[in-house]
Structure 1
């Protein structure tokens, strides 16, 4: 049977998903349903529908009309809205957890409490609040060493960290009051010190197949300066760990993912079938969990799907059918560097509507994934968010970084990108930071 695979979403992550599915020897028919048309995805799809990806009935109607046999849900919002539940009910298999299981992302407190209940290592101190009762005492217990998180989905905007976003105890109290006034429960956590990394796993609820470790760069400007973004770029190394990580760090993160998958099955009475994405921090005391996401990271997925050697259709089918134990998942033993081109003013006051002129020819080893773009009168234009990502793959990080940079600098106009992602100097700083922490 030729699979008819529905991709839900329209960003660079979904473009990378489409490219990985399209190169399968099974030659599936691809469908896409999203709120915007991504020309890169459109060129790979048989049918492209527009609508609300958080309206389960709309997604199911499109899937039924076009005979979808399998769906891959890209972003977090449809997962939290129960789109996976509705598709399963309509007899469409899904890569992406049900609404209950997706709480691992949609509720920060759910995840912290899950780790605590099942004695899974990785939690810092945390406490959930719905009012200001007791907030002052907890903030005083960790003066300028705390993180405040909106308990729900906030599009990456609901987390504030002491020293980065909160510069005084008064600002911390004010942010907590703001969340209370909005009716948003929140979590106060002890601030961790170390280096962040992402460890994602394909998961059918019983078996996990781990992906290489990746490091994301959230800040807009070189040197980790400026406002937080959706992610300006990422890198992974040829040995599938990162230069600042120990083998034991990767093993600890993998073990936490495995235990969380088992705990979710126990807690929710259902199997987690999708991508389990742990955001971790390597500290002097081992690996700690920052947060979980219930889907592929963006931009991390751009590195990982570019490096994936296995048949991605076979992997997706195995996730949905519960047969991942029978599938061998391999990634190229190469390094990768991803950089996003973004409009001037991004993320706070981005320009919109500028023409995006792509390189006439990409350097060998570089892939391009379109994100927030549209076709207007035959011209590719930027829509005000992350615009296009380039992923360079090489034998070494230096090689991958060089070719990625070569591609990125060929995009003219009012755009910018971080030039330091994957560079020797930036990686050396992270290695020195971890060496210093571990020696204390």
Structure 2
């Protein structure tokens, strides 16, 4: 088979790495890819959002299966365009991907179908949002409705912080049109976890639960990022909890989307808060999480291509998904200044010195005159698998110690929650 992977980040590098292990695969293309991916696949300079360009590439190279990494091309209708052209694609339609593309739509569906989530209200009027926050006078979360690269969510512990968040999103337009609608919801208490699942629109097969680290600094301090690291499996989500998530969240959501005329095929990502009242949904994503994909795929024992084909062909019910024992940890190395503005083109050194059993997934890198340099906020994801979480943490940070670039920063506590 010829496979095309769409995207250029750490998640896509992890996908290409896992896909390359399948005996079904003859050649992998990646659009646009990155220097790390280029070691495993032929990178083609077509942007992830260029639907027509990707369609032309898939036809020209006679691609058998296209795997979509990021959310933007899905919400723009890549899967719809490929399906209309008779091409196999792994990823939901635009109507189904709206569960991520619109936080309001996701909340409305959850409310309608009784899927556990935080109480909320939505606003298109700036003054109405401010009045509501003052009336509630309690900690809340303020969210831009649309896609904001994982940064459009602001946790407000005081009324003043919530009002500032509304100003930032609706008045200052920090996230552009993603802030046309604002969702204000109660601040749930508990620990966060991510449960990703394969679904063919009927059957739902959860992956190993993971935990992402969103805040930029150790101890969950500082602003939200796209994710500073992740580990799997998250011990908070034991077998009993995973069954509960399956029965009360994943399966009902897939059924709800079908009932709404939005049948869902691909990976459904549930970002959860494990509250004293049980698991509740913080957000849905319409694809593999990043960086959760890195440790989860490192632990996947089954053939990913075979699973994806079973999803596309509607035969997931017959699949057994197997996992390696042990645990995996991914530590993100970020550019100086991230998640704010940051320089690009900073030389990276030390990758050749990383132990061979430690994976380094490229997230924001480029080649400049033969030198590997930074090209994004999240630059590399250093990922290690070991017999247990403590050993995986130790191994990942041994890899981190070998790598350097000016301004590089990272969290030093990835996975520590699992040890507690």
Q: TM-score, normalised by structure 1?
A: 0.89
The CA deviation at 1:111 is 0.9
Q: CA deviation at 1:249?
A: 2.9
Aligned partners of 2:363 and 2:376 also within 8 Å = no
CA distance, structure 1, for counterparts of residue 130 and residue 341 of structure 2: 34
Out of 243, 257, 266, which is 1:264 matched to? Answer: 257
Aligned-residue offset at 1:136: 4.2
The structural deviation recorded for 1:362 is: 3.3
Q: Aligned to 1:102, what secondary structure does the other structure show?
A: helix
Gaps of 5+ in 1: 432-440
Counterparts of 2:90 and 2:286 in 1: how far apart (Å)? Answer: 11
Equivalent residues in 2 for 1:236-315, closer than 5 Å = 236-237=232-233, 242-245=234-237, 247-255=239-247, 256-268=249-261, 270-315=262-307
Q: Distance in 2 between matches of 1:366 and 1:173?
A: 42
* 1:141-161 residue CA offsets vs partner (Å, 9 max, x unmatched): 532321111111111222111
| Separation of aligned partners in 1, 2:163 and 2:216 | 26
Q: CA deviation at 1:244?
A: 3.5
Q: Does 1:16 align with 2:8?
A: no
| 8 Å Cα contact 1:365/1:394 also seen in 2 | no
Q: State the Cα RMSD in Å.
A: 2.0
Matches within 5 A, 1:8-157: 8-34=6-32, 37-45=33-41, 47-120=42-115, 122-132=116-126, 134-157=128-151
Tell me the distance in 2 between the aligned counterparts of 1:400 and 1:168: 37
Partner of 2:374: 382
Cα deviation code 1:245-283 (max 9, x no counterpart): 454432222221111011111112x53111000000001
Map of 1:420 onto structure 2: 413
Which residue matches 2:189?
193
CA gap 1:402/1:262 in 2 versus in 1, 3 angstroms: same
Give 1:227's aligned residue. 223
Partner of residue 337, structure 1: 329
TM-score w.r.t. length of structure 2 = 0.93
Tell whether the 8 Å contact from 2:353 to 2:402 is kept in structure 1 after alignment: no
Structure 2 gaps of 5+ residues are none
Residues 1:173 and 1:7: Cα distance change in structure 2 (over 3 Å):
closer
1:173/1:14 Cα in 2 relative to 1: closer, same or farther (>3 Å)? Answer: closer
Superposed displacement of residue 285, structure 1: 1.0
1:396 pairs with one of 381, 385, 388: 388
Question: Aligned equivalents of 2:215 and 2:348: distance in 1?
Answer: 23
Q: CA 1:179–1:349 in 2, change beyond 3 Å: closer, same or farther?
A: closer
Assess if the C-alpha contact under 8 Å between 2:2 and 2:25 holds in 1.
no
Distance (Å, rounded) in 2 between the aligned partners of 1:222 and 1:282: 21
Distance 1:18 1:173, change over 3 A: closer
